[in-house]
Amino acid sequence: MPPTWIFGKSDKGWMTGETFFEYIANDFNKWLIQEGIPKPVIVFIDGHKSHMSLSLSEFCDANGIILYALPPNTTHMLQPVDVSVFRPLKQEWRTTVRRWLNKHENVNSSVTKFNFCTLFEETCKELIPQIR
């Protein structure tokens, strides 16, 4: 992983309220401070229950972070990151995995938590040339 990236994990691989709180409180807020980004800042989130908790709301309120939950089923209109970032990312991820699986040494292999970061970095290098 590039050294400036933040990587979180949960026991089952799904976003949880605790994981999201840790990210905002320990990583995102710290990054805002380190980069000298003036507050308040607005953070657009989807309405998933893992993104909304009383403790997160209180932390954000005390630290100048405004959480704005986008309405459900409005991805096509209000979540341009899904279209402009995640769609190409998904497409490139599929290409990277196919290319990796087609290598002789990877026949009958699968993506695991042990090789995920290496493959994901390769995916990102294809999408974002400045990571190279």
Rounded average pLDDT over 66-88: 74
Yes or no: say if 89 and 123 are a contact pair by the CB < 8 Å rule. Answer: yes
Residue spans per domain, the chain: 1-74, 79-132
Exposure string for 49-83, b = 16+ CB within 10 A, e = fewer? ebbeeeebeebbeebebebeeeeeeeeeeeeeeee
pLDDT in tens, 23-71: 999 999 999 999 999 999 999 887 777 788 899 999 999 999 999 887 7
What is the band of 80 on the pLDDT scale with cuts at 50, 70, 90?
low
